[in-house]
Every structure is written in C-alpha cells, then in structure tokens.
Amino acid sequence: METTAAPVPSGQHMHLRRLRDLTEFEVADGNPDVRGWSVRGGDGKKFGDVYELIVEVETLKVRYLDVELDTSLQVDKWERHILLPIGAAAIDEDADNVFVPSLTLESVLDYPPYTEIQITREYEEAMLRSLKLALPQNTSGNFYDQPSYNDEQFYANRRPR
C-alpha cells in the first residue's frame, strides 16, 4: 500500500499513521467510524471528542483514538489532544459515545499530551500508566499484542443497548 501523505512520526520506524492519510484504508464494514463521537469516562463525564484514528500500518489496525479534549477542561491549547489505546474503550452506537472506564479528570490532567510528533515507547507506556493499565510483560513480541490495543475488543465491547 502506498500513500503520499506524511506519517505520524514514531520512534519505531514511523509505523503509525493517521487514518485520513491512508487513502486506501477505511474502517471495516460493520464497524462504526467513531471520529466525531464524544469520549466519556466511566462515570459518563464528557472529556472531548474523537478527532482521528491512529493506525499501525504494518497490521492495518487502529491502535489509538486521537481525542481532542473539551475546552471546559481548561488545558493549554497545545495540550488539547491525547491518544487513548483503542482496547481501553467501549462504544455506545445509539448515542455516538466512546466510553473509557479508566478515564477520570485526574488521569486526563496528568495525561501526556499528543502533539502529532514522536510516539515513542516511553510515551506509550506513560499513557498506559496514566490510565492505570498494565504494561506489556513480554518485550520481545509485538508491543500491541495486549488487550489495551485490541481493536477487535473495542468493536466487540459495544455497550448494551
């Protein structure tokens, strides 16, 4: 697959890209495109909206939700985007919501901001720690082979209607 758009830089050979840059890739049939949906914590509080999907090019799997934080959170405009591992969330198709049970006001304010620059392994681990999610135990395999990055789990975790 060839694309002409610049990738989202990464410490791992620039392997992550924005979905909008992958002209030959789209959300799989039967799964909703969650861009523009509200992102809510486990208590239902809205923290922002899904701005973009970040895809691992090699596997063509969505790994992160790029969330633009709500202005009511009063974070600096340069810190208004965060990445959430896709497997840490569940969707509510009826109300166009993405729920992240481990997302709280405290975790959002301590969360490492995403500025479309390098996504390093250290950054990815900082995100997992902010959400109090387990860090991968096996560093020799693929970092994304863990529940926090399972896109199938994300789409399967549809909240009851």
Compute CA distances 62 → 27, 122, 149, 150, 152, whole Å: 9, 19, 8, 8, 9
Q: In the prediction, which pLDDT does 6 show?
A: 43
Residue 100 has pLDDT above 60, yes or no: yes
Q: In the prediction, which pLDDT does 5 show?
A: 41
What does the DSSP 8-state code read for residue 139? S
Q: Which of 5-14, 49-58, 72-81, 100-109 has the lowest mean pLDDT?
A: 5-14
Find, among 105, 114, 106, 24, the residue nearest to 63 by Cα.
114
Q: With pLDDT > 70 as the criterion, what percentage of the chain qualifies? A: 84
pTM of the model: 0.82
Task: Read off the tokens for 118.
Answer: 């390098």
The hierarchical CATH code for the domain 16-156 is 3.90.50.10
Task: Read off the tokens for 105.
Answer: 């006001």
Average pLDDT over residues 48-67: 92
Q: Which of 39-43, 55-59, 70-74, 147-151 has the lowest mean pLDDT?
A: 147-151
pLDDT in tens, 8-44: 443 444 688 888 888 888 888 888 899 999 999 988 9
